[in-house]
Chains A and B, each alone.
Chain A
């Protein structure tokens, strides 16, 4: 059985919760007792599908989604994990959390309102995270007379707005979440739409495999001389000569254990334990690679960053903890190059502050050399978070977009191994 993770985004009241409720309902994933709890007082036929995902008291009281709710359903051949993310831009941090691990983002647009600031913001998040697939569900088609012209117009408008975002293949579906049009069965009201229903899209979307190109193993901890780590990318085999980054020391793979057994090789996505022929004193957060295909190792790089801290703006010069895979290291922001306009997606002149929900291009300097890749070439070793030293809050998320051409003297030797 395959597993597909997707997220739903949209402005408040565009119908996200209703859509999820509808999907669960149409795939018979809602149990009787839960259905009963969705009933609307005073109306025997109505059902508040949105109540399914609003889990916290004040969410139900205010009728809005504040934090990501995870929901699970399955069909005959796939299991699904939905992260229902809040719409309001105040909660973008939660949207980013919910969307960071998905194969697909469904962005809802209320056909009556068209593209809103929120639509743009959500699309920007999809672009920032490089979500592999995007579906634009134009919802509430029942309220606009199932009008083909309006749907086409919204599609064209969205495409022109989003060109700068370099989103992957985008699919457009006209739906009514409330009534159920084009959700699991083709809508009789919209014969002009000949594409897939939403559920068909979910069932047939090609799920990208883990990155198999270059070996990247992140060391999580060691017990005695055994290293425990996750294969972020690539493949490792008994007898391989491997390199520990940063530092570039070489060793040989003596033993690999996975699933209570010794194995000859292991692949991306697996968590293994590893013995090397000599004691390499590797540390938590070090990256094991092959020597001919090693990550970049230096102390500074350029990132695209999304700021998540609602109370404190990003500060240049201040120390943060930087965290990527299992590595944690102190860092400083050396400079902020520009902010990205949330409306036009153009570079904005930097106006002195990077605030919550802002996207910006930012240069980071870490305390000692670390191993990384560009996010475009290897996602798992090209992304991370910034943690506020005082509050310990996760204050920002970044992806590495470039390596400036300057190196610390201490790391000059690494230039020869630089791949990007």
Chain B
């Protein structure tokens, strides 16, 4: 079998295990390419039956407008059941303090909203588009990743995971995060999007955008970042290599406006996916590990 077929079959098998093992699974949707691909594979996994679980977006309020339009269009086309829970509501209801720095990120606060939503709906499995090649803490995570009743990942105490046998047994209040595309690389994802003709948000292709040029990175102008005197603002042709919040995702200068051009560009790129585009990972060497231990995706 071809590598993409092997990875696709592996993902389908995992998605069906999630459906077969859990009472109330949900697919976490971010508006990015990985979770969009996951929706495509899920549709394939359960065809001819209809999409069997709801899709949940933890809305930070710092989204790219394009990602929201895309989300709503996808939900309409595929007839998905969409649940949206807003970080802004958690902040208000729980009186949480928001970071106030220049690129005030709601990345950490997102975990609060996520954990509340898990409890509200009684989700026992959350299916996500995380990939092991993205980041070094993720590189260590199991496909069925156990979270305790506080939502915490315990990296030093993971369950052994052998063959294609996934242990999803949990007690009430605990939770499993399921990562069907754990073994995909960034390039696998793009080649699959091309092969399957999956529609992804326009943000991934070259477009002119007004950006703040900051520490060598291009950050889209928005109401969510603070401008200071002396900031340098330019308009460039850019695209996004990952799509997260407007406050923590950087754009890259690019003329790539088709999938083929994007794939070419990634092959030539000397920088890794997250290294090029994530502002949040730069904060600390163990940024992701820390967030995951607090319930993050």
Contacts and interface: CB of A to CB of B under 8 A. Distances in A.
Interface of A: 1-3, 31-34, 53-58, 60, 66-72, 74, 79, 81, 93-94, 96-97, 100-101, 210, 220-221, 223-224, 226, 228, 230, 257, 259-260, 269-271, 273, 284, 308, 321, 323-326, 380, 383-385, 387, 392-394, 397
Contact of A221 (B20, B165, B285): B20
A31 B185 CA distance: 14
A387 B161 contact: no
Indicate the member of B48, B133, B160, B272 with the most A CB atoms within 10 Å: B160
A66 B156 contact: yes
Given A58-B156, A323-B167, A96 B162 contact: yes
Interface of B: 1-4, 6-7, 9, 12-13, 16-17, 19-20, 44-49, 52, 132-133, 136-137, 139-140, 142, 155-156, 158-165, 167, 169-171, 182-183, 185, 187-188, 269-272, 275-276, 285-286, 289
Contact of A67 (B4, B6, B158): B158
B289 A68 contact: no
A31 B16 contact: no
Given A55-B140, A56-B140, A57-B286, A257 B165 contact: no
A260 B289 contact: no
Given A70-B182, A226-B48, A230-B13, A269 B167 contact: no
Contact of B139 (A33, A55, A257): A55
A147 B147 CA distance: 50
14 contacts: A3-B6, A56-B289, A58-B156, A68-B140, A79-B3, A79-B185, A100-B161, A220-B20, A221-B16, A260-B47, A269-B9, A271-B9, A273-B46, A394-B162
A81 B183 contact: yes
Contact of A71 (B12, B139, B142): B139
Nearest to A81: B183
B91 to A, nearest CB: 29
The 6 closest A-B pairs by CB, nearest first: A55-B136, A33-B275, A221-B20, A223-B49, A100-B162, A3-B3
Contacts of B49: 223-224, 226, 273
Nearest to B169: A392
Given A3-B6, A33-B276, A70-B182, A394 B161 contact: yes
Indicate the member of B19, B49, B142 with the most A CB atoms within 10 Å: B49
